[in-house]
Amino acid sequence: MIKTKGQLEAEISDAIIRFEKEYMGRGPLETKTYIIDDMVIVRLKGVLTRAEYQLAETSEASIGRELIKRMRHALLEKGRPMLDAIVEDVVGVPVISLHTDLSTVTGERLIVFSLAKVPNLPASPQG
């Protein structure tokens, strides 16, 4: 059975949620994945813990925000082989780079995977 683009995006979202829960210790409140040309963009909402929000709002908020971002980035880099494998297994194309940023205000994280080429996705139904 050939999966639709939406099914592939949902499969990536589900796998990223499992990664976040198992590897990072806490899953996001909401995850949405978009496959656009040779990129996979994953948007995770609600990834910060209460303690991280508190740290981001202290009197030294800029230091707290920087600590949170650095720690989260380091953890993601350590788990990057797993993330690359998740995306490659679903779309069938190697990941060549990963870019990420995290908002300590909204608790949202974006992960952008650049692929070696545009994946061969099923054609959209004409309507």
- Domain CATH number, residue 19: 3.30.980
Rounded Cα gap, residues 44 and 25, in angstroms: 15
- Specify if 120 maps to a domain: no
The answer as to whether 121 is a domain residue is no
Is 122 contained in some domain? no
pTM of the model: 0.88
Q: What is the pLDDT of residue 60?
A: 76
Phi and psi of 8, rounded to 5°?
A: -65, -45
Residues of the chain with pLDDT under 70: 61, 123-127
Q: What pLDDT score does 108 carry?
A: 95
Tally of domains in the chain: 1
Please indicate, yes or no, if residue 28 is contained in any of the structural domains: yes
DSSP secondary structure string, 46-98?
S-S-HHHHHHHTSTTHHHHHHHHHHHHHHHHHHTHHHHHHHHHHHHSS-EEEE
Write the single-letter amino acid at 41: I
The pLDDT, as a whole number, for residue 47 is 92
Predicted pLDDT of residue 124: 62
Residue 40 included in any domain: yes
Domain containing 99 equals 5-115
